[in-house]
Amino acid sequence: MARFILRRFLSALLTLFIICTLTFFMMFLVPGGPFLSERTSDKIIAIANEKYGLDKPVIVQYKNYMVRLLQGDLGVSFKRKGFTVNEIIAEKFPVSAKLGAVAMGLAIISGVTMGCVAAVNHNKVIDRIVMFFCTFSWAVPSFIIGTLLLYIFGIWLKWLPAIGLKTPAHYIMPAVALSLSPTSYITRLLRSNMLDVIDQDYIKTARAKGLSRNIVIFKHALRNSILPIITYLGPMTAFVITGGVVVERIFNVPGLGKYFVETIMNRDYMMIMGTTIFLATLVIFANFIVDILYRVVDPRIELE
């Protein structure tokens, strides 16, 4: 177990190093600079570049950035004066984290429930309805679903608040828009696994012993079908985080995703790199936790 954790930790560090390096050098492949959009003279732009060290050779800037990064310093924002990238992430990310947690919880609960219902009612009307819903929600992008929800329930019917995250009601539409695609994937995955498990001998034995249908389904069949869902938690975290970038923009949620879009348009180099590295760290950590959960759910799995 300890060797596995050490290997994964070293692998995570290597992955982060590659991401940091690629992100840094990709910034310099984009024509222009962070101060060219401002209507200022060349002299003022030169002063700004000197102030932030952008006048130095790229390799020197890379070395300085990596040294600061090892100390936990993600740099300062070029556009939001007086704020560091660390401070902005600390301010914006909790908002995105709350929305992402609600969306992931909704996806897991809805997906597991519909997957069980579809498997138990295989080839019946309710199974076909669930599969139609999954196909639709998987095929339609989250930003289109978000726009439809905003127009129907926020503008036309006026049942739900359309902008911000001030009350629990504000979470409904953005969380649903983010959760529909993961919900459909979880539903289809669990349904397929449960259909295989239900025909196993130990399930037939449990039924022959007179156990109730709920116990057979939720204690035996579901437990042995849930492992692929845990496998999907890591990619789902990445999907919710990256998908939230557009959804937050649609619903004007003051989170990290919405601000990240603005920094890209403003070419705030330090903010773009800092946010990318921060989100990459979250995804890598989520996948690491998922690998550990394998053993918790199924002790037969050897991590070594």
> Where do the structural domains in the chain lie, given as residue ranges?
99-249
* SS3 (DSSP) at 76: strand
Q: What is the pLDDT of residue 139?
A: 85
| CATH 1.10.8.60, domain 99-249, yes or no | no
Residue 301 has pLDDT above 60, yes or no: no
Spatial distance between the Cα atoms of 227 and 250, rounded to a whole number of angstroms? 34
Average pLDDT taken over every residue of the chain: 81
Angle at 40 between CA 35 and CA 41, to 5 degrees: 110
Residues 72-87: tens digit of each pLDDT: 888 888 777 778 889 9
Closest CA to 192 of 109, 107, 131, 234: 131
- State the helix-helix crossing angle for 227-250 and 172-198, rounded to 10 degrees: 160
227: pLDDT confidence band, cut at 50, 70 and 90?
confident
Please give the average per-residue pLDDT across 225-236, as a whole number: 78
CA 264 to chain centre: 19
Residues 5-47: tens digit of each pLDDT: 788 788 888 888 898 898 888 877 766 666 665 566 667 777 7
Residue 129 has pLDDT above 90, yes or no: yes
Residues 192-214: tens digit of each pLDDT: 888 888 777 677 677 777 776 66
Instruction: Locate 304 and state its tokens.
Output: 């070594």
Residue 225 has pLDDT above 70, yes or no: yes
Q: What is the pLDDT of residue 37?
A: 59
Q: What are the angstrom distances between the C-alpha of 19 and each of 12, 25, 227, 280?
A: 10, 10, 29, 8
Residue 99 has pLDDT above 80, yes or no: yes
Q: What is the pLDDT of residue 229?
A: 81
